[in-house]
Amino acid sequence: MKKVALVTGGSRGIGLGIVEQLAGQGFDIAINGVRPEESVQAVLENIKALGVEVIYCQGNVALSADRAKILQEVKDHFGQLNILVNNAGIAPRERRDVLNTSEASFDEVLDTNLKSCYFLTQAAANWMIEQKESNPDFSGSIINISSISATVASVNRGEYCVSKAGISMVTQLFAARLGEYFIPVYEVRPGVIATDMTAGVKEKYDNLIAQGLCVQPRWGTPEDVGKAVGALAAGSFPYSTGQVFMVDGGLTLPRL
């Protein structure tokens, strides 16, 4: 039986890069997104063309009821879940100095980026434990997509940085808790990745990259992140639970 991966925010950007990699490795895929299913038909058809089974689980991961519905749809259709990739995330609707961050923006970003990761991981982890207890050969893992913003301060989007720093601790907490079940939990930390989220700051980062922002002088791509997730999902790092995997072209490498 094929293994099943659920990727939140998987219909575009980094999430789609992850979906394409996992489908290419033979995983059946559940894609979560907030857009109506008819809006992502082309994406679904492209993934199906890779020879895997695909379902679309529409829902807002910031909402408890939607998280439950998403997992139930995976359970009803596939009857199993081997890989959870917590990728869904948003930037603030308006970049504001930390001296002027609104509570509404803080709540929206943390609910979508951090609270969803914590509680979707909690629910999936309990299901994975059930699967492990009923089948000792069950193999599962959880992969959280954070950002260099977990440690690199951007004072005009503080709520985003806080959400990503929180994901880093979520990873450590569940890695520690799930170790006895041999269910590893990983964090993948991308740098400057070319997606629709970064399209509005393209010129800024084009200039910074040209000036040496990254050791490797180029933007990262969703494919770069997808390859890292693919290696983790394949079980290539079974003894590295709780660890951070950097995909930033050396941006955070200390240099003189």
Global pTM value: 0.97
Please, which pLDDT band fits residue 31 given cuts at 50, 70 and 90?
very high
The pLDDT value given to residue 13: 97
Give 59's contacts (C-beta < 8 A, 6+ positions apart).
32, 34, 66, 67, 69, 70
Considering the domain delimited by 4-247, tell me its CATH architecture. Answer: 3-Layer(aba) Sandwich (3.40)
Instruction: Give the residues across from 143 on adjacent strands.
Output: 85, 186
The pLDDT value given to residue 199: 84
Query: pLDDT above 90 covers what percent of the chain?
Result: 97
Domain residues of the chain, as ranges? Answer: 4-247
Q: Identify which of 57, 74, 45 has the alpha carbon closest to the alpha carbon of residue 10.
A: 57
Q: Which residues are catalytic?
A: 160
Please, which pLDDT band fits residue 1 given cuts at 50, 70 and 90?
confident
Give the containing element (helix H, strand E) for 188. strand 185-190
| Each residue's pLDDT tens digit, 56-99 | 999 999 999 999 999 999 999 999 999 999 999 999 999 999 99
